[in-house]
């Protein structure tokens, strides 16, 4: 696969390798309505109604476009509680892609995390990972475990253009294992396409090194493959040693090295659902009983059979080198255009979406005025675009009630796969640029209603002062009657 193949030759414009056959009409409220709706939603983009959103860039989870082949497969789902042919087809597809024999189905990624934590985490345990994900950490700490993040230094440096910023710092991992003792480390979690630092990939070499170190110390290696798809693409185009390998070969080499793999099929495979796979029967037996308890019978695990058919086909599409590039090259287009304009972006472009460094965009705004949340509110006002705060609001307070400031204050603009056209991506860039020109008008937020747990989902905030009205007035002055 050559990187250039799926771009227009002259302009490096990314090319959709699909055509649109089903559409959904969008609606763009006026800027005055957007101010009102943002406030009705407590300045929290999770609380907006989707009908009021023009570009939904909240997440890539469960909103990727399905293919005609996936839809066709869904029609032949074998609707049975136990022993469905659908489950057999999914097993076969998983074995074909990952080479694994065993599969425990679960309703989504965090359900897998719950089961892994129940089976392996005990109070006082330490779970090293390149970086945490919100739900992963919640399940581990709920059971008295502790998360240690060991991402390489460049991972937390927004402007560092290291191609694999999700890599583990291997010497730090080994030092931690020696310090804590392998008996207190039930597993090391490797998160492909590291979500919270901007969808940054790990190299195949790094993941294999982590797995080898785990083996050396008798610790389990667990791959979170939810964001593996984009990571595979980056391995192929950025890791010199892998450029002549197929995506299937890379996937197999990686899977062979891991003890356990789990995934959210809301991301991997353009579908819904999730599961845990392995070739180690003993490990599977340790978790098996939790499936009927928390999820559903062993051949559906809380998933609809139709979703399972969609995963079986979607996984095969994930191995298609003309499809796998579709997320990353459109994200790259957005990042490149904004970076060229001077907007502080997380570089290099990663998977999942484009990530704006809100601390730098709103230079001088303190963490406790929530710059990433303020920027998310401002972008909805500027363009009806719904992004996601990935900063201090997404953290949980310390036990003494003080704020735990996020290492990075990010506004994430997810690009669900095969969903947006290039003109929509350009619209998004256009509104972010306008906002950047007017960034001095953006003010902070304060809590109005702050839940003790998962505050980023349910919490409500208020603007500090009348900056949102002023921003809307400037929009009117600049855009006239236009939406």
Contact residues toward ligand F0G (CB under 6 A) are 59, 61, 108-110, 133, 135, 191, 195, 224, 226-227, 264, 266, 274
**Distance from C-alpha of 13 to C-alpha of 407, rounded to nearest angstrom:** 33
Per annotation, catalytic residue among 189, 306, 390, 431: 390
Please state, as a whole number, how many other Cβ atoms lie within 10 Å of the Cβ of residue 186.
20
Residue 150 is given by DSSP the state -
Contact 198, 350 (CB under 8 A): yes
Per annotation, catalytic residue among 120, 133, 168, 361: 133
Contact 39, 369 (CB under 8 A): no
- In the bound state with ligand F0G, the residue whose beta carbon lies nearer, of 133 and 164, is 133
Minimum CB–partner distance for residue 440 and ligand F0G (Å): 30
Tell me the residue number closest to ligand F0G, measured at CB. 109
Could you write out the DSSP letters of every residue in 51-82? GG-SEE-S-SSS-SPPPHHHHHHHTT----SS
Minimum CB–partner distance for residue 234 and ligand F0G (Å): 15
Per annotation, catalytic residue among 52, 56, 125, 224: 224
Contact 261, 269 (CB under 8 A): no
- In the bound state with ligand F0G, the residue whose beta carbon lies nearer, of 165 and 266, is 266
Per annotation, catalytic residue among 81, 405, 457, 479: 81
**Annotated catalytic residue 458:** no
Contact 188, 210 (CB under 8 A): yes
Minimum CB–partner distance for residue 364 and ligand F0G (Å): 29
Minimum CB–partner distance for residue 191 and ligand F0G (Å): 5
Minimum CB–partner distance for residue 192 and ligand F0G (Å): 8
**Annotated catalytic residue 267:** yes
Minimum CB–partner distance for residue 483 and ligand F0G (Å): 27
Per annotation, catalytic residue among 267, 417, 431, 460: 267
Q: Give the long-range contacts of residues 276-280, CB within 8 A, separation 24 or more.
A: 276/103, 276/104, 276/106, 276/112, 276/115, 276/116, 277/94, 277/98, 277/100, 277/102, 277/103, 277/104, 278/100, 278/101, 278/102, 279/99, 279/100, 279/101, 279/102, 280/102
Q: Bridge partners of 274?
A: 106, 264
Helix (H, G, I), strand (E, B) or coil at 146: strand
**Annotated catalytic residue 262:** no
Nearest to 171, CA basis, from 210, 224, 129: 210
**Annotated catalytic residue 224:** yes
Residue 194 is given by DSSP the state B
Minimum CB–partner distance for residue 89 and ligand F0G (Å): 21
* Token output for 390: 């990935």
**Annotated catalytic residue 46:** no
**Annotated catalytic residue 390:** yes
**Annotated catalytic residue 7:** no
- In the bound state with ligand F0G, the residue whose beta carbon lies nearer, of 195 and 279, is 195
Residue 449 is given by DSSP the state E
User: Which residues are known catalytic residues?
Assistant: 81, 133-134, 224, 267, 390, 456
């Amino acid at each position: 696969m050559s990187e250039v193949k799926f771009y227009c030759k002259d302009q490096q414009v990314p090319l959709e390798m699909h055509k649109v056959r089903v559409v959904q009409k969008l609606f763009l409220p006026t800027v005055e309505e957007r101010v009102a709706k943002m406030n009705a939603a407590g300045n929290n983009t999770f609380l907006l109604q989707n009908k009021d959103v023009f570009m939904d860039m909240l997440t890539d989870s469960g909103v990727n476009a399905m293919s005609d082949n996936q839809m066709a497969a869904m029609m032949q789902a074998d609707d049975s509680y136990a022993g469905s042919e659908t489950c057999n087809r999914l097993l076969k597809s998983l074995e074909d892609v990952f080479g694994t024999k065993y599969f425990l189905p679960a309703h989504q990624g965090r359900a897998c995390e719950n089961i892994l934590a129940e089976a392996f985490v005990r109070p006082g345990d330490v779970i090293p990972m390149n970086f945490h994900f919100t739900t992963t950490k919640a399940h581990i700490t709920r059971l008295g475990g502790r998360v240690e993040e060991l991402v390489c230094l460049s991972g937390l440096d927004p402007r560092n253009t290291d191609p694999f910023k999700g890599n583990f710092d291997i010497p730090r991992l080994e030092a931690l294992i020696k310090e804590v003792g392998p008996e207190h480390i039930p597993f090391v979690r490797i998160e492909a396409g590291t979500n919270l630092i901007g969808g940054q990939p790990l190299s195949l070499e790094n993941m294999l090194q982590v797995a080898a170190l785990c083996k050396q110390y008798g610790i389990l290696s667990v791959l979170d493959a939810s964001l593996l798809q984009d990571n595979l693409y980056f391995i192929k185009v950025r890791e010199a040693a892998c450029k002549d390998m197929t995506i299937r070969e890379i996937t197999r080499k990686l899977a062979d090295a891991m003890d356990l793999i789990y995934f959210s099929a809301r991301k991997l495979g353009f579908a819904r659902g999730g599961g845990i796979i392995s070739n180690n029967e003993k490990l599977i037996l340790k978790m098996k009983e939790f499936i009927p308890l928390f999820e559903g019978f062993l051949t559906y695990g809380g998933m609809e059979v139709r979703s399972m058919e969609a995963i079986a086909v979607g996984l095969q599409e994930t191995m298609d080198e003309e499809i796998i590039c579709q997320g990353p090259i459109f994200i790259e287009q957005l990042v490149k255009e904004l970076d060229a304009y001077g907007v502080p972006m997380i570089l290099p472009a990663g998977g999942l979406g484009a990530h704006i460094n809100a601390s730098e965009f709103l230079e001088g705004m303190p963490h406790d005025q929530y710059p990433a949340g303020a920027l998310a509110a401002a972008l909805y006002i500027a363009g009806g675009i719904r992004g996601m705060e990935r900063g201090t609001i997404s953290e949980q307070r310390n036990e003494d009630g003080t704020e735990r400031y996020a290492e990075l204050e990010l506004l994430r603009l997810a690009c669900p796969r095969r969903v947006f056209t290039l003109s929509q991506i350009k619209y998004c860039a256009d509104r972010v640029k306008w906002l950047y020109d007017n960034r001095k008008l953006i003010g902070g937020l304060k809590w109005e209603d702050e839940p003790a747990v998962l505050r980023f989902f349910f919490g409500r905030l208020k603007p500090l002062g009348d900056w949102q009205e002023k921003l809307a007035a400037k929009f009117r002055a600049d855009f006239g009657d236009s939406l």
